């Protein structure tokens, strides 16, 4: 991600109005706007952080995109885990080099990218996704960022509980859940998680939080679950004119975190008198549309898949996920 621009690199161009465009460099490529053009050849060979001028005189700051930039601009088949929450998940789960991590579901691959970077070459990430079309988009997004599908990454289309039950006990150090009903996977997670390991659930609504927390408590093999949310407020700073921005990135989801205890150990519990009442009908309310997520049409999903495949192909990645 350092050095000079070369063919196949993703480059983020920022104009004088702050609008950002991300392109993949090709020797004969041209970046077009309604005002003019910029040949890719004008960028190739320049150092990262250069300024180039288009045919209309517009000046562009050229930078290799950060992972945050890539995630926010990549094709989406499903709603993504935003960078502010991805950072909190890495911190809450204490994801580090060499760890074995399993996540469900993969969505468009945003959190997958952060996890792969965090565990490094010595670690591994196993992503489980129910829907094939989402898995395809995620595979291309991951390959498009790394230039090939990382060997430390495996992707399975299926049910997480079934996948974990088919594996060996204690196979993972960390479990990250981004799914509609994470409480249903608690028995399988209990078996798959190494003692001392961490489970983090990214959850959209308050009823889902309640049911997940109670399921972890009832399992009697986890520490008391911690529930948090992350809000980010930017600030406008211009000399002495310093004030909060008018807009902020507020609630996107809750994080529920707990640690696996050793077998046979019962942790001290605080007394709780609040009733816990759930019905099977509750689950019917927790569809993506019901919790505010915009559901993608099949046509839009096909378009998203084509865009992700084009980005991966521009990096020289073949359909099998390997570099050309």
For the segment 11-50, what is each residue's pLDDT rounded down to a tens digit? Answer: 999 998 888 999 999 999 999 988 899 999 999 999 999 9
Instruction: Say which residue the tokens 């930017």 belong to.
Output: 234
Are 259 and 198 contacting, i.e. CB atoms less than 8 angstroms apart?
yes
Nearest of 138, 114, 322, 295 to residue 202 by alpha carbon:
114
Please report, to the nearest 10 degrees, the dihedral formed by the alpha carbons of residues 129, 93, 279, 272 taken in order. Answer: 170
* 59 within a domain of the structure (yes/no): yes
How many whole angstroms separate alpha carbon 254 and alpha carbon 121? 30
**Count of alpha carbons within 13 Å of 100, Cβ hemisphere only?**
10
* 299 within a domain of the structure (yes/no): no
Residue 129 dihedral angles phi and psi, to the nearest 5° = -135, 135
On whether both 156 and 208 belong to a single domain, the answer is yes
For the segment 82-140, what is each residue's pLDDT rounded down to a tens digit? Answer: 999 999 999 999 999 999 999 999 989 999 999 999 999 999 999 999 999 999 999 99
**Count of alpha carbons within 13 Å of 170, Cβ hemisphere only?**
6
* 140 within a domain of the structure (yes/no): yes
| Helix, strand or coil, per DSSP, at residue 4 | strand
Q: Which of 72-76, 119-123, 226-230, 257-261 has the lowest mean pLDDT?
A: 72-76
On whether both 55 and 76 belong to a single domain, the answer is no
According to DSSP, residue 79 is labeled P
On whether both 61 and 75 belong to a single domain, the answer is no
Concatenated DSSP letters of 155-179: EEES-HHHHHHHS-TT-EEEEEE-S
Entry pTM: 0.82
For 105-140, give one letter per residue: b (16+ CB within 10 A) or e: bbbbbbbbbbbbbbbeeebbbbbbbeeebbbbbbbb
* 30 within a domain of the structure (yes/no): yes
**Count of structural domains within the chain:** 2
On whether both 98 and 167 belong to a single domain, the answer is yes
For the segment 41-65, what is each residue's pLDDT rounded down to a tens digit? Answer: 999 999 999 999 999 999 999 999 9
pLDDT at 306: 85
The bridge status of strand 100-104 relative to strand 124-129 is: parallel
pLDDT at 1: 46
pLDDT at 112: 97
Length of the chain as a residue count: 324
- For the cut 60, the answer to whether the pLDDT of residue 273 exceeds it is no
On whether both 195 and 121 belong to a single domain, the answer is yes
Task: Show the domain range for 48.
Answer: 10-65
Residue 169 dihedral angles phi and psi, to the nearest 5° = -65, 145
* 245 within a domain of the structure (yes/no): yes
On whether both 203 and 175 belong to a single domain, the answer is yes
On whether both 259 and 114 belong to a single domain, the answer is yes
Nearest of 162, 141, 2 to residue 75 by alpha carbon:
141
Helix or strand (DSSP H, E) at 214: helix 206-219
* 300 within a domain of the structure (yes/no): no
* 107 within a domain of the structure (yes/no): yes
On whether both 141 and 45 belong to a single domain, the answer is no
Q: CATH number, domain at 28?
A: 3.10.330.20
Quick one: 56 exposed, middle or buried, by C-beta within 10 A (0-12, 13-18, 19+)? exposed
On whether both 278 and 251 belong to a single domain, the answer is yes
On whether both 47 and 86 belong to a single domain, the answer is no
* 119 within a domain of the structure (yes/no): yes
Q: Pick the more confident residue, 303 or 237.
A: 237
On whether both 52 and 149 belong to a single domain, the answer is no
Sign of CA dihedral 266, 270, 271, 276: negative
| Helix, strand or coil, per DSSP, at residue 317 | strand
How many whole angstroms separate alpha carbon 313 and alpha carbon 196? 41
On whether both 31 and 178 belong to a single domain, the answer is no
How many whole angstroms separate alpha carbon 211 and alpha carbon 93? 20
Q: Which residues lie across from 238 on neighbouring strands?
A: 241
How many whole angstroms separate alpha carbon 71 and alpha carbon 82? 8
How many whole angstroms separate alpha carbon 163 and alpha carbon 148? 25
Q: CATH number, domain at 174?
A: 3.40.50.150
Tell me what the mean pLDDT of segment 204-212 comes to.
95
């Amino acid at each position: 991600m350092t050095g000079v621009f070369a063919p196949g690199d993703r480059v983020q161009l920022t104009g004088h109005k702050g609008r950002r465009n991300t392109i993949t460099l090709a020797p004969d490529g041209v970046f077009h706007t309604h005002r003019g053009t910029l040949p890719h050849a004008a960028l190739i060979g320049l150092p990262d952080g250069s300024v180039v001028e288009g045919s209309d005189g517009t000046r562009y700051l050229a930078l290799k995109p950060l992972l945050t930039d890539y995630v926010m601009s990549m094709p989406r088949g499903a709603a993504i885990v935003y960078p502010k929450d991805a950072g909190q998940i890495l911190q809450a789960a204490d994801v580090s080099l060499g760890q074995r991590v399993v996540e469900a579901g993969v969505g468009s691959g945003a959190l997958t990218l952060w996890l792969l970077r965090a565990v490094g070459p010595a670690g591994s990430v196993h992503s489980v996704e129910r829907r094939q079309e989402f898995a395809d988009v995620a595979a291309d997004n991951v390959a498009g960022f790394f230039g090939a599908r990382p060997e430390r990454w495996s992707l399975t289309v299926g049910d997480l509980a079934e996948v974990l039950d088919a594996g060996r006990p204690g196979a993972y150090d960390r479990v990250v859940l981004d799914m509609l009903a994470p409480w249903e996977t608690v028995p399988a997670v209990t078996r798959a998680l190494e003692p001392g390991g961490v489970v983090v659930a990214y959850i959209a609504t308050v009823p889902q939080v309640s049911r997940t927390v109670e399921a972890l408590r009832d399992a009697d093999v986890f520490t008391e679950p911690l529930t948090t949310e992350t809000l980010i407020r930017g600030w406008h700073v211009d000399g002495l004119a310093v004030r909060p921005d008018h807009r902020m990135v507020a609630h996107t989801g809750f994080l529920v975190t707990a640690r696996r205890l050793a077998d046979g150990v019962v942790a001290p519990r605080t007394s709780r008198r609040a009733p816990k009442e759930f019905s099977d009908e509750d689950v019917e309310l927790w569809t993506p549309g019901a919790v505010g997520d915009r559901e993608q049409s099949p046509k839009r999903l096909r378009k998203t898949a084509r865009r992700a495949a084009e980005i991966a192909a521009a990096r020289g990645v073949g359909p099998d996920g390997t570099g050309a």
